[in-house]
Amino acid sequence: MKLSPLQMARYQYNPKLPGMLRNGISEICVENGNATESVADQAKIQALFPNTYGKNEITFKKGQNTSEAKKQIVGVILSGGQAPGGHNVICGLYDALKATNPENVLYGFKGGPSGLINDDYLIFDDEYINQYRNTGGFDIIGSGRTKLESEEQFAIVADVCKKHGITAIVIIGGDDSNTNAAVLAEYFAAHNTGVQVIGCPKTIDGDLKNEDIECSFGFDTATKTYSEMIGNIERDANSAKKYWHFIKVMGRSASHVALECALETQPNICLIGEEVAAKKMSLAQIADYIADSVAGRAAKGWNFGVAIIPEGIVEFVPEFSVLIAEINELLAGEKTEKFNALPSWKEKYAFIENGLTKESMAVFAILPENIQQQLFLERDPHGNVQVSLIESEKLFSALVKDNLAARKAAGTYKGKFAPQHHFLGYEGRCAFPSNFDADYCYSLGYNAFMLIQYGYNGYLSKVSNLSKPAEEWVAGGMPITKMMNIERRNGEDKPVIRKALVELDGKPFTFFAANREQWAIETCYTYPGAIQYFGPAEVCDLTTRTLALEKA
């Protein structure tokens, strides 16, 4: 396989560890913190996790290692969507494991949780692992979205671990994956299997964070990748001066990616779903807000601009959420087959009109026909609308176009409006990790093994103080149950890790809100450029604007 010069150079990069972890395995001890409780629903979570609830947070310090010396056979899986840096978590885990005892073994289970269930694995060695250091993607063992939820699955996993003598499993994933890690850890503890479970926080969406987990890995690289492209589009817009670019970015359940990209590039418009929900904004109000910027810039002779749209924005619009709920009900069960059997859109439209309330039909009617049809594309496994398939960037440009047409008819707008559409998604998930993510992920993996070595179960690998140089990072662990609450899922109460949404009183949003009126009318674009891997630390080791503002 021919390697690119960058790939060869990245193989040689030595990720930076927190200062304490650089002391050597024999000089790392544990400092116990406070006992923990879940973020909400404490009694219910404790009842569900009697063996792993309420444990102490811990921090690793320099000192005599007092852990039990024994051979460790560890399994690792990648779960869910890709995020830059996943390979380095495994590399850090492998290096710590081998540094402790060369006889230790690391199993990589292929294709995510299903690899554990199907006993599909490889055993890592130096030659194999060295091919993936500091690279993007999850191709080292692949990933998957199988959920570990049932007693039957847990029993199979326990048997697989017993077969190979596995002492611990590391699950690298997002909020759902780490929820599964917590449940599996509880099962192992309740059945005295002797197998530990450690989680690592991954998601480019940025919604796996709290007072302890400052940042999920992959967010830094993905947002830098998107921001480079948005900056390029801004420069093109400012050069051609004739297009309005509507750019949808990943982030269904939270708008962290959109906000970070806006802080990096200063576009004319950036919608924040959490604000839309808080203000109960309608589609018409959002269209009017964007159209104000278009008209204001046109009055200055600038018929161009850039708008960032979060992937899941429509779910935050109250009237649209009601519409989606009614459509889900309209097509429940066998009704989907009846609807699909109708031969024309005209007949399907009549079916819809007859099934929706008057209020939801009014919302449905203002949507462009292509968006209306997208609401009736293939359903998800639960029979619901797949919101990610809705081209919200085209939806809002169409609504803005209609709004501007009405203004033109009223004589209040005389500009030109020519929209262009973009969706930045997969482009950011497997990029070469930034130095920050390369360092952070390697530290998470190295730290995960230290949690294993000291016997912890149901813990999340935690590295904090991330806005500082890596030397000052703090490594430790926290019980996964601390992040959990009860939510209603598919008609049942389920313990889940609470998603972190954009905080409207937080420093990143308030900084954005203080500047967006100027950005909406003036041309204040900034151009981040490509991720830099070589050069001065102030250029190459920059963290996100979000984290910098939060920790300022």
pLDDT in tens, 157-216: 999 999 999 999 999 999 999 999 999 999 999 999 999 999 999 999 999 999 899 999
| Cβ atoms of residues 91 and 442 within 8 Å | yes
Residue spans of beta strands (DSSP E) within 240-358: 244-249, 269-270, 305-310
Summarize pLDDT for 224-256 with one digit per residue, the tens: 999 999 999 999 999 999 999 999 999 888 999
**Does the pLDDT of residue 131 top 90, yes or no?**
yes
Looking at residue 490, its pLDDT comes to 65
Nearest to 304 by CA among 411, 416, 187, 467: 416
343, two tokens: 């031969």
Cβ burial 373-382 (10 Å sphere, 16+ → b, else e):
ebbbeeeeee
Between the alpha carbon of residue 169 and those of residues 88, 172, 241, 418, the distances in Å are 17, 10, 54, 53
Mean pLDDT over 484-493 rounds to 83
Looking at residue 388, its pLDDT comes to 73
Domains belonging to the chain, first-starting first, are: 33-218+433-497 (3.40.50.450), 219-429+506-541 (3.40.50.460)
Q: How confident is the model at residue 389 (pLDDT cuts 50, 70, 90)?
A: confident
Cα–Cα distance measured from residue 106 to residue 97, given in angstroms and rounded to the nearest whole number: 8
Cα–Cα distance measured from residue 473 to residue 201, given in angstroms and rounded to the nearest whole number: 16
Looking at residue 25, its pLDDT comes to 87
Active site residue 205: yes
pLDDT above 70 covers what percent of the chain? 98
Looking at residue 383, its pLDDT comes to 62
CA angle (320, 518, 255) in 5-degree steps: 35
Q: Helix axis angle, 345-355 relative to 318-330, nearest 10°?
A: 110
**Does the pLDDT of residue 384 top 90, yes or no?**
no
By residue count, the chain amounts to 552
Catalytic residue among 95, 175, 176, 205: 205
Q: Is the Cα torsion angle 147, 149, 154, 155 positive or negative in sign?
A: negative
Looking at residue 211, its pLDDT comes to 87
Looking at residue 198, its pLDDT comes to 98
Average pLDDT, the chain: 94
132, two tokens: 């993936």
**Does the pLDDT of residue 336 top 90, yes or no?**
no
**Does the pLDDT of residue 379 top 70, yes or no?**
no
- Residue corresponding to tokens 């879940």: 38
Cα–Cα distance measured from residue 297 to residue 77, given in angstroms and rounded to the nearest whole number: 50
Q: How confident is the model at residue 381 (pLDDT cuts 50, 70, 90)?
A: low
Q: How many CA atoms lie within 13 A of 175 on its CB side?
A: 23
Cα–Cα distance measured from residue 10 to residue 439, given in angstroms and rounded to the nearest whole number: 12
Rounded to two decimals, what is the model's pTM? 0.95
CB atoms within 10 A of CB 6: 12
Mean pLDDT over 501-528 rounds to 98
